[in-house]
């Protein structure tokens, strides 16, 4: 089941968003990660992790866990729906996802583990941004100030 862009933007509107998404100069591919975090009470946290592997990320991967001061620990399962070629057979893969790190006012630094991926354990540094990549209006005129 896919979520429409306005729904996904509404889901992340009140969250702290960290990103390292970029457009690869040679291929034009959209690559990187985004983490949208919402604190729950004193020590809980819910988050959505977006994985960009060439195009738009689609739905965020739901994660939950704990936050203590600025230390964040999240876990969840990524259910990836793929189409196998040339048979065009629908395939479902599950990946265990863990995110551990430190949230700051400007950055998130930590570790990302996605089981079954080519580079399953990575050190990541994400920059604080206002919203997730698909939610920016790329047709708007930039504010000159």
pTM score of the predicted model = 0.83
The arithmetic mean of pLDDT across residues 97-111, rounded, is 96
What band does 82 get if pLDDT is binned at 50, 70 and 90?
confident
Each residue of 20-54: b (16+ CB within 10 Å) or e? bbeeeeeeeebebbbbbbeeeeeeebbbbbbbbee
Give residue limits of the domains in the chain: 5-135
Top-level class of domain 5-135? mainly beta
């Amino acid at each position: 089941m896919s979520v429409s862009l306005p729904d996904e933007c509404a889901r992340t509107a009140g969250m702290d968003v960290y990103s390292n998404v970029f457009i690869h100069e040679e291929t034009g591919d959209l690559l990187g990660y985004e983490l949208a975090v919402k604190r729950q009470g004193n020590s809980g946290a819910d988050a959505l992790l977006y994985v960009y592997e060439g195009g738009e990320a689609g739905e965020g991967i739901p994660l939950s866990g704990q936050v203590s001061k600025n230390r964040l620990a999240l876990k969840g399962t990524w259910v990836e729906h793929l189409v196998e070629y040339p048979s065009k057979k629908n395939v479902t893969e599950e990946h265990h996802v863990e995110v551990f790190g430190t949230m700051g006012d400007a950055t998130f630094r930590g570790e990302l583990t996605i089981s079954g991926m080519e580079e399953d354990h990575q050190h990541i540094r994400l920059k604080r941004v206002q919203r997730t990549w698909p939610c920016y209006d790329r047709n708007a005129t930039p504010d000159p100030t």
